[in-house]
Structure 1
Amino acid sequence: MTNQLTDRPYRGQSMDDRRRERRQVLLDAALTLVGQQGYSNISVRALCNEAGLTERYFYESFKNREAMLAELYTEQTARLRAAMIAAISLPSDGTNATVGKGLRCFFSMLKQEPELARVILFEVFGVSKAMDELYYQAMEDFAELLRELALALGLDTTPPHTDSNVVYAGLVGACVQMARRWVLDDYREDIEMMVESARLFFRAVAE
């Protein structure tokens, strides 16, 4: 039976709205702490202190720290992918410019949001098999995005005896490794150099 007291709106918000709001506050706090200190160095208590919530509300939203990290990683990769889709959807002068828009968005977000970069590029590794699987699924999603872009631009012309899925997975892997090196080197190279370097891989596939 529904509890009418607990389900009653509070300041115009339903219980479900308040739960979603608390969950997002916790995820925002997790992005800050994981991005600055690393996943292995933060506790539930520290996370709740950052969010200004009690531990009760953490466990209302997440089973444990790993579940929180999985949700954070999924949220941030989705943000990055959506931003890249928006960038490559803008009008541009030809294929080269379209690819450049997507790459520029990728590298720009990593530099402008170092916490996001750390979460996406480093913090999910070695946590568990489930997190490894989540990472590889995200990489497959980015590879599919590249395949769809190539189809739209008329570049999906991989030769016989090759697998286009493997090719696009390799492109994603190359860009991710370049990004990791760049971040670890404290973003020493400028963004345009990173864009042009990564674009070489796309030209090789197109040719």
Structure 2
Amino acid sequence: MHSGQDSADPEPRIWGGTTLTERRETRRAALLEAALDLIGEAGAGAVTMRAVCRRANLTDRYFYESFTGRDDLLDVLYRLVADEFREPMTAFAALDSPTRDRELAQVLVDKVLEDPRKSRLFLVEPYSSTGLGQTTIAVMPTFTRLIQDHLFNHVTDPVARRMAALTMASGNAGMFSAWLNGSLKVTPEQVVDHLVEVITIYRSMYRG
């Protein structure tokens, strides 16, 4: 009879120079990367357990080691990508500089262009029926608060401040989605100029 000592052993098991935890994290990263590749090629609809395992060259046993199913994988991946977008935006939004708006717009456009797979997941796929609806609803308020607290912090009316932030966030998300799917044909410089202009216009609406 197995003593169960393996699961209770506090010492990490070393094999091939890596611990069990390190190997598990490597497999998880490979599955997430495989899912990103599939999204970049054919959208989130192409992400299935079997397709991800095949791309990562792993069995379904290892898939379920990290994720309960396809939707769980997409949820985890979307949140990781959202964090990657939010971090540089937060840093630039908090700047107190006369060029802050353009710097923020530029860092956002640069981030969108950095990895088309991630941008497609974050900005295009939520508009399709991929199972990302609830995740997007949970994640997007953090971006709205960023706009609300930093770009429109001069607006004294909290309702007006929130409405401005919500409208700007949703409008820009739609614009980026159209740009990425090819239905809006503009240059990165035009997108930056547009973002700066939108911020300026929204600020001019609320001077109190």
TM-score (norm 2): 0.83
Q: Distance in 2 between matches of 1:22 and 1:89?
A: 36
1:192 to 171, 189, 205: 189
Query: Cα deviation per residue 1:79-118 (whole Å; 9 max; x = unaligned)?
Result: 111132344567x8x33x2111122122222223211121
Cα distance in 2 between the residues matched to 1:47 and 1:180: 24
Residues 107 and 179 in structure 1, CA contact (< 8 A), matched pair in contact too: no
Matches within 5 A, 1:170-181: 170-181=167-178
CA distance in 1, matches of 2:183, 2:18: 43
1:146 aligns with 2:143: no
Distance in 2 of aligned mates of 1:88 and 1:145: 7
Count of matched residue pairs: 198
The question of whether the paired residues in 2 share the 8 Å contact of 1:8 and 1:14 is answered with: yes
Q: Which residue of 2 aligns with 1:114?
A: 116
Distance 1:132-1:47 versus aligned 2 partners, 3 A rule: same
> Cα gap change, 1:203/1:184 in structure 2, threshold over 3 Å: closer, same or farther?
same
Following the alignment from structure 1 to structure 2, what is the Cα–Cα distance between the partners of residues 136 and 113? 23
Q: Choose which of 62, 80, 87 in structure 2 pairs with 1:75.
A: 80
User: TM-score scaled to structure 1, two decimals?
Assistant: 0.83
Corresponding position of 1:27 = 32
Q: Aligned residue for 1:127?
A: 130
**2:199 pairs with one of 179, 194, 202:** 202
> How far apart are residue 194 of structure 1 and its match?
0.5
Distance 1:161 1:11, change over 3 A: closer
Please state if 1:40 is matched with 2:41: no
Which stretch of the first structure deviates more once superposed, 35-44 or 139-148?
A: 35-44
Distance 1:186 1:21, change over 3 A: farther
Supply the AA of the counterpart residue of 2:103. Answer: K
Return the offset for 1:69.
Answer: 0.7
1:54 aligns with 2:51: no
The Cα of 1:30 is off from its aligned counterpart by 0.7
Cα deviation 1:161-186 (Å, max 9, x = unaligned)? 83322321211111111101111227
| CA distance 1:161–1:145, shift in 2 (3 Å) | closer
Q: CA deviation at 1:42?
A: 3.5
Give me the whole-angstrom Cα distance separating, in 2, the residues matched to 1:134 and 1:45.
Answer: 22
- Following the alignment from structure 1 to structure 2, what is the Cα–Cα distance between the partners of residues 114 and 44? 22
- Greater C-alpha Rg: 2
Structure 2: which 5+ runs fail to align? none
Structure 1 regions of 5+ residues with no counterpart?
A: none
Corresponding position: 1:105 with 2:144:
no
Deviates more, 1:137-146 or 1:38-47: 38-47
